Amino acid sequence: SQNELLHSLGDKYLSERISGRTNDISGNLAYGSESQDLADLIKKQSKNKIIAVYSSNWFDCPHAFGMNRFRDFEDWITTTYKAALENRNYIWIFKPHPGEDWYGGIKLKDILPENTPDNIFILPKDFSGNSIMKLADGLVTYHGTGGIEYASCGKPVLVADKGWYHDSGFVIYPDSRSNYIEILGSNWTENIDK
């Protein structure tokens, strides 16, 4: 009965968060904005699956979790971007962290190039997380909350390194940096046991 209660409470919280009805700053920034139609931006006629890549808080302290596969979040996002350039089997949408302006400092647009190939999109920060989640077929994140949110909706999640849920069994956790890059280059959303 305790498990059922916790499951019910978690389900209720995630539903409220994804609909933008929670009062925590990160949930409000991620899901509180108006949904925009990404289909026009991403060319609805494409048959390729869409992978969202959620950038991290550049000010965060990833080494608190034992970050050892990447120097920092810039190293991770540029490595992920380079792998996306090579894998044209997916459309890749890179989403800035919703708190970039709130916290200041380096932004995703400062790291990635302005002109991208037709299978890669760098979204403006005002796209709703809910709109992106509905469109995306999977998520790549370092260890962001989006991993829990996408997995709770039955969508595959790939994490890059240790975090606070990497070994919980609901995300793909690569063996190494090179294995992470190898997975990004594959059709990793296929044959996932959800």
pLDDT in tens, 82-107: 999 999 999 999 998 877 777 777 88
Whole-model pTM: value is: 0.79
Residue 56: the pLDDT is 83
109-159: per-residue pLDDT in tens?
889 998 999 899 988 877 777 788 888 999 999 988 889 999 998 999 999
pLDDT band at 63 (very low <50, low <70, confident <90, very high): low
Task: Say how far apart CA 129 and CA 82 lie, in whole Å.
Answer: 24
Q: Tokens standing for 7?
A: 């499951």
25-46: per-residue pLDDT in tens?
566 566 655 545 565 556 554 6
Three-class DSSP category at 170? coil
Residue 98: the pLDDT is 79
Amino acid at 94: F
Closest CA to 52 of 144, 176, 174: 144
Q: Tokens standing for 165?
A: 């849920």
